[in-house]
Amino acid sequence: MPIDLMLEKYSGRIATLTIGASKEEAGTRKYTIRIGGQTTLPFLFSEGPIPNKPTIAFEIWDIPPIDWPQALLESYKDVVNDTVEWAQKCIEDYRAKVLCLRLQGAHPDCGNRTPDEEAKLIEKLLKAVDVPLIIIGCGEDTKDNLVLPICSQAAKGERCLFGEAFQDNYKTLTAAVLADGHNIIATSPIDINIAKQLNILISDMGLGLERIVINPTIGALGYGLEYAYSIMERIRLAALAGDKTVAMPFICFVGQEAWRAKEAKASAVEFPNWGKDLERGIVWETLTATALIQAGGDIMVMRHPKAAQNIDTYIEELMQKSAQ
């Protein structure tokens, strides 16, 4: 006897956000990327439409990475000294559709690059590649408040995704992206209430809720992944229930979290029974991403090309099987 499954129908919808501006929109990107738009939980096509699949962004830096394990750097060893060449390698060799540029070189402890230096890099990168860009600061609030507005102006009209805005430091970046036509990443420390409050504060400055992406702050496999998953699920359920102040896509910095886990970066010489360090790292990044996609992640910012390839295949299979 066939069993009729109980299907949920939600009143809310996740906002649809576009990254990149095409030539028809006065930008220079070859194409745009759309995320969000879901009316149900991940891959439950029988309950509602899921118009846009999760997206993978390749992380690149403005300086050679200072904390990446050697096994991870091996894939980029010939280009890490030139950001533009690194970006081109990701696109040409690894078929990257989106790039996430981290301006770590602006940090006072990592080179202290000036706002003008970083802005010139943005201009150079925009001319060299034509994929949509995500641009992240160095993580030091005072310096980011100087650098990011200048970089936002340098990329004006390209509809980039800029980050990160925090509850105690959101006004400067919000004003910049509002003036220059970009989107913003609102970061909260694994807390649904802070996420909601920050989105409200940003929207009160005039930036529409549909131009915000939530970074819920994730953990890697074995390092808080379960808690991050539960918070993302709670936020998504609240959004689908009709709360528009949290009805935004998620961005997850998978590579950053996965490759700083001891199990991913520890040398095989130090732990010979753990197997090859490169294989471990790829598995750690892959498994972290698969869980976060199931939690509702819309953008996976990844580091190793093999892990990105694994997740690209995983997303395609989920989209096909779930839609059947």
| Homologous superfamily of the 53-323 domain (CATH) | Dihydropteroate synthase-like (3.20.20.20)
Residues whose CB falls within 8 Å of the CB of residue 167, separated by 6 or more in sequence, listed in order: 188, 194, 197, 198, 201
The residue whose two tokens read 């997850």 is 252
Q: Check residue 248 and give its pLDDT.
A: 98
Q: Check residue 1 and give its pLDDT.
A: 57
pTM: 0.95
Q: Check residue 324 and give its pLDDT.
A: 56
Read out DSSP for 210-246? Answer: GGEEEE-----TTTTHHHHHHHHHHHHHHHHTT-GGG
Closest to 161 (Cα-Cα) out of 212, 205, 126, 122 = 212
**Helical H runs in 42-191?**
70-73, 83-94, 115-128, 141-154, 171-180
Q: Check residue 3 and give its pLDDT.
A: 67
Q: Hey, how many other C-beta atoms are within 10 angstroms of the C-beta on 51?
A: 12
Domain boundaries in the chain?
53-323
The token pair at 169 is 């430091």
The token pair at 105 is 């070189």
Q: Across the 324 residues of the chain, what is the mean pLDDT of every consecutive 10-residue run?
A: 76 97 95 97 92 97 94 94 98 98 97 97 98 97 97 98 96 98 96 96 97 96 93 97 97 96 82 84 96 97 98 94 60
Q: How far apart are CA 86 and CA 46, in angstroms?
A: 41
Q: Check residue 21 and give its pLDDT.
A: 97
Q: Check residue 32 and give its pLDDT.
A: 98
Q: How far apart are CA 43 and CA 307, in angstroms?
A: 21
